[in-house]
């Protein structure tokens, strides 16, 4: 890859990665403000919409640079595995085992469904 193309890809990763992080912050805050029951609904919403989006993008015939920018830079910074694990751990520390297990089960099961729905939609385009 040429130096100008490399610089363009790196610039895209920085910009789209930043945009994904800002979107994650906004979605998490918006959802969490509406659901104050102590369950991490904001993180769940972010990860489910991210799974849908990544499934959708994965079904499209994107060139490798576009896939890198859309999938890794934007969706990678938008979704948050580490926050999901930390919130689940905190629920366990608070002895809220039901919500902790519910968070794991809902995140995995609904995430797989969301990714499948995104891929199904992407395949139809």
Question: What values do phi and psi take at 60, rounded to 5?
Answer: -85, 155
Contact 119, 56 (CB under 8 A): yes
Taking the C-alpha atoms of residue 113 and residue 82, their distance in angstroms, rounded to an integer, is 21
Q: Is 80 annotated as a binding residue?
A: no
Q: Is 79 annotated as a binding residue?
A: yes
CA 110 to chain centroid, in Å, comes to: 13
CB atoms within 10 A of CB 112: 12
Binding site for Na(+): what residues are annotated?
76, 79
**Feature table: binding site:** 76, 79
């Amino acid at each position: 890859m040429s130096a100008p193309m490399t610089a363009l890809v790196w610039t895209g990763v920085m910009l789209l990665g930043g945009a994904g992080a800002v979107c994650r912050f906004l979605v998490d805050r918006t959802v969490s403000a509406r659901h104050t029951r102590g369950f991490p609904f904001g993180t769940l919403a972010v990860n489910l919409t991210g799974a849908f989006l990544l499934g959708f993008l994965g079904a499209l015939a994107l060139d490798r640079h576009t896939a890198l920018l859309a999938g890794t830079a934007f969706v990678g910074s938008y979704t948050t595995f580490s926050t999901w694990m930390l919130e689940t751990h905190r629920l366990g520390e608070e002895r809220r085992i039901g919500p902790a297990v519910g968070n794991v089960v809902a995140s995995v099961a609904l995430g797989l469904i969301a990714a499948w729905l995104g891929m199904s939609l992407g395949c139809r385009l």
